[in-house]
Structure 1
Amino acid sequence: MPKPNYAFEKRQRELAKKKKQDEKDARKREARAAASPDTATDTAETGASLPDDPSAPGPRVHLRKPGA
């Protein structure tokens, strides 16, 4: 009898979990876009463009530590 491939099963669970999370994030983005249609008109008026990749990191913000 062949032994079970636990690494494969774990990877499949991780992929399913990631897919489910991606779908949830997509639904949230759609809900936000539907809730605030003003953002598309604001950027068209100012000439600003939205980034093509929504998962791209934003600008880095460095905060000062108190007492330093």
Structure 2
Amino acid sequence: MAAKPNYSFERRERERLKAEKKAKRLADKKRGADTSADPSSDASETPPQGDE
């Protein structure tokens, strides 16, 4: 005889995994925003050093 499905547990597990994935994406996005907001690491804003 097959086991009775536990739909509420399965739904909670899917929602937990989805929230975990979303939190990881937000953390990665925030980390990316922090590194791009740092003016010392951004070389595109510094004027080129040339012979003038």
Q: TM-score range by the shorter chain?
A: 0.5 to 0.7
1:11 lines up with 2:9 in the alignment: no
The TM-score, its normalising length taken from structure 2, stands at 0.67
Aligned to 1:54: none
Greater Cα radius of gyration, structure 1 or 2: 2
Aligned to 2:38: 37
- Runs in 1 of length 4+ with deviation above 2 angstroms? none
> What is the aligned residue count?
38
Q: Whose RCO is larger (CA < 8 A, sep 6+)?
A: 2
Q: CA deviation at 1:2?
A: 2.6
RMSD over equivalenced CA pairs, Å: 1.1
Q: Which blocks of at least 5 consecutive residues in structure 1 are unaligned?
A: 39-68
Counterparts of 1:18 and 1:7, CA distance in 2 = 16
